A and B are shown apart, each in its own frame.
Chain A
Amino acid sequence: MTNNELWQTALGEIELSISKANFVTWFKNTTILSKEDGRVVIGVPNGFAKEWLENKYNTYIIKALQSSQDDIREISCTIYNILEKTDAVSQDIDAAKAPSQIKTAYPMVGNAILKENPANEANLNPRYTFDNFVVGENNELARAACYAVSQNLGNAYNPLFIYGGVGLGKTHLLQSLGNEVIKKNPEKEIKYITSERFTSELIDAIRSQRIDKFKNDYQKIDLLIIDDIQFLSGKEKTQHEFFHIFNALYQINKQIVLSSDRPPKAIPTIEERLRSRFEGGMIADIGQPDLETRMAILRTKMAEKGFYLEDDVIKFVAENIKSNVRELEGALNRIIASCELNKRPPSIKNVGQTLSELISSGKRKGIHHKHIIKAVANFYEISDRDIINKGRRKEIVRPRQVAMYLMRIELNASYPGIGGWLGGRDHTTALHAYEKINRELEVDEKLKEDLVIIKDKLYSL
């Protein structure tokens, strides 16, 4: 047992016998320096800890040490400099730099530290760029808008609002935008933040009574990117502050980019004045990728990972995993892992087995008709019973039809079965509902969005 292991074991025991506060205060940055003939020397960071460990905790420490090594009789403490080892490196540099380098570095220290890594400061992940973003029909407009904005901050489209479902590449686009701007103009102040973080920063600022500083900091930014803005819904004070920051930036032509999982119209409980501002610039949506795009994405990802799949296998995966890019990537990772573990070639058959859980006829497990009724009822704010009961009021008929449609699409249920679940209705009722919704989906954007949200809810139940 090395000294370090011995000390860790002893600390584990000591932690149980004294209070957390005492443990942290007195045992932080301690270590065993030497052990000889049953005499242990403990290194402590300061004189207070030395006195306290030697006089108050010595019995605890000896007992704890003895339980792993019973030949220990005595302990003593010395103050030692925990930084000594790591320090040696920086000392060398300091000595090497002096005298000429220190002189020139002198007045610039402040700036140098601040501007060291603009990407880090802006909270951006340099992995996301426009180059590795796969363009398809579904995201052409959004990408073009983002690119235009990155080339011409504040003047192209302001604000730019990107929306689309989960895992379709909103974050990728937003981060690419930020990275592109940094590449072109490193001196621009850029901030990428999720609305969650924005809220918590605001709360911190309010608590520490530095709200003015918070506002000022934000108003200095050249490009403000806020991801998942829909989470502002219901947070009135945050919306209020955001409104002012938004206005301040907008008036001096600073670029604002926002993303959400739904269009501004569909974000519930958001102030009207904010909604109208979101809609005032450019709105672009990212839809689900079509088959060709999905295949292209798979190819890009494969190239990144240095893995190869036959064309027919790529097609098989792309055909079966439709809803989002993240799942597509997940499926690919799964295939790679299973091929490497089981040492089998990625043939269609093997891949089919590997992904069987993900694709089981395209649907996820564990969802049944009751979930659908619940999700639909929840969304339209009616009760479960209303959907099943006889009522024919308009506000109930529509949800009922949506539920039937979803059962058909999501569960592949038979029409008589659907009728049976919904209060013993005739199979023709179910058939009619399915066809009606299907027809309306082609023209009614609102309905399409509603369905996306209901599906999200369904799978997050």
Chain B
Amino acid sequence: MKLICTQENFKRAIFNTERITGKQITLPILGNILLETEKGRLKLSATNLEVGVVSTIGSKIEEEGKITIPSKLLSNFVTNLPTEDKIILEAKDQILKISSGSYSAQIKGLDAHDFPIIPKLENGFLFSLPAQELKEVMSKILVCISLNETRPELTGVNVLFSDKEISLAATDSFRLAEEVITIDNKEKGDNYAAFIAKTTSIIIPASTFSEILRITSPEANAINIAIEENQIFFEIEGVLIVSRLVNGKYPEYKQIIPQKFNTRAVLKKEDMSRAVKIASAFTSSKSGEITFSINSKNKEVVIKSQSQETGENLTKLPADITGPDQEIVFNPRYVLDGINPIPTAQVAFLVNNNSSPVVIKMVDEKSGNVIEKYTYVAMPIKS
């Protein structure tokens, strides 16, 4: 194998593939990246047998071939190179020679024939989503992922398909985040209708989404998605990601989201976030409790906390309130996780009583209406 490519592209491809390689004691080759020439381009592949990433870049190929190289060493070498135009790769007898400007290296590799074959997409893409929107949605959803392996279905993101919209949700059974993305006809592939006829719900591993978040650059436009027998394919600007799906049935969460509320308080997101952070500092242990008092007469929300060791604190926030007064106790972390990723300046805090789920939603800045697409549900601590 012998080829020349631009250093920028090569660095980008290494960055995309390198992170999912890891130390696998049983199969050491999974710590390697496969470099391979294909149809006049250079293809880099990496996998941990749950997720596979393939990144293809343009290059000038002088001799075909393939080799696998330890990813950590390759990335350490390449990322520290000073910016140059070109990088020259030459593989011979399981050794890869890399040179760029006045730097060069010879890295020992393993036989490419032992590298796992990354599944290929058989049919076309099912639908596509705007990359930046998905990225923003995921940053809101992923905070609710369960880290507890005893319920594997909660370690993934649930995706529900329907004709007009796609809902993504995650829960760890203490709180839940859901966001609905509308999908219009030009984003759907030919077989989308046939697909939702038989499948309406899948679970995607959270780690796959973190990988996608990382690979999606700020310039990316669309993410193409395909789903085939227990696996899902994503395509972002020439990078293909394959992942298994999580087996199991996701809880029917839609039913636990309250549809009606007694009290609504709209307040500034920054104020609320600051007050909760301060209050959490005054709580005793990590399972600390903070109290929200909604006072409709004074038009304010009072957030307070106290503990025997530290003392106490109280913040009054002006708010636009409709409905009766409420007093609810919360774990501050669960509130923060819900409001922190919200991009709007105001949030709506929707309450029924002190023992049923509380919902946090975004508020449109111009019209002042509650935006329905994002829903964060948290259980209060029963007093």
Partners in one complex: yes
Contact: A99 with B255, CB < 8 Å?
Answer: yes
Contact: A25 with B117, CB < 8 Å?
Answer: no
Q: Give the residue of B26, B119, B244 whose beta carbon is less than 8 angstroms from that of A51.
A: B119
Contact: A94 with B251, CB < 8 Å?
Answer: yes
Q: Does B139 contact A (CB under 8 A)?
A: no
Q: Does A50 contact B (CB under 8 A)?
A: yes
What sequence of 0s and 1s flags, for each residue 13-56 of chain A, a beta carbon within 8 Å of any chain B beta carbon?
A: 00000000110110000000000000000000011101110011
Inside 8 A of B173's CB, which chain A residues have their CB? Answer: 106, 109-110
Contact: A47 with B231, CB < 8 Å?
Answer: yes
Inside 8 A of A25's CB, which chain B residues have their CB? Answer: 26-27, 49
| Most interface-central of A21, A78, A80, A95 (chain B CB within 10 A) | A21
Q: A106-B379, A107-B174 are in contact. Are A48 and B247 (CB under 8 A)?
A: no
Contact: A48 with B174, CB < 8 Å?
Answer: no
Contact: B256 with A91, CB < 8 Å?
Answer: no
Inside 8 A of B119's CB, which chain A residues have their CB? Answer: 47-48, 50-51
Q: Does A79 contact B (CB under 8 A)?
A: yes
Contact: A102 with B230, CB < 8 Å?
Answer: no
Q: Does A337 contact B (CB under 8 A)?
A: no
Q: List B residues 235-290 near A (Cβ within 8 Å).
A: 242, 244, 247-249, 251-252, 255-256
Q: Does A443 contact B (CB under 8 A)?
A: no
CA distance A68 to B337 in the complex (A): 59
Q: List B residues 365-383 near A (Cβ within 8 Å).
A: 379, 381-382
- Chain A: residues with Cβ within 8 Å of the partner, total of 33
CA distance A23 to B247 in the complex (A): 23
Contact: B255 with A102, CB < 8 Å?
Answer: yes
Inside 8 A of B230's CB, which chain A residues have their CB? Answer: 46-47, 79-81
Inside 8 A of B381's CB, which chain A residues have their CB? Answer: 107
CA distance A98 to B47 in the complex (A): 38
Nearest-CB residue, chain B, relative to A24: B26
Inside 8 A of B116's CB, which chain A residues have their CB? Answer: 48, 51-52
Contact: B252 with A94, CB < 8 Å?
Answer: yes
What sequence of 0s and 1s flags, for each residue 106-131 of chain B, a beta carbon within 8 Å of any chain A beta carbon?
A: 00000000001111100000000000
Q: Does A90 contact B (CB under 8 A)?
A: yes
Q: Does A303 contact B (CB under 8 A)?
A: no
Q: Does B229 contact A (CB under 8 A)?
A: yes
- The distance from the CB of A207 to the nearest CB of chain B, in whole angstroms, is 16
CA distance A90 to B248 in the complex (A): 9
- The distance from the CB of A55 to the nearest CB of chain B, in whole angstroms, is 6
Contact: B49 with A46, CB < 8 Å?
Answer: yes
Q: Does A341 contact B (CB under 8 A)?
A: no
Known: A87-B247, A107-B381. 13 other contacts (CB 8 A): A46-B230, A51-B117, A51-B120, A56-B117, A80-B230, A94-B249, A99-B252, A102-B251, A102-B256, A106-B256, A106-B379, A110-B173, A110-B174
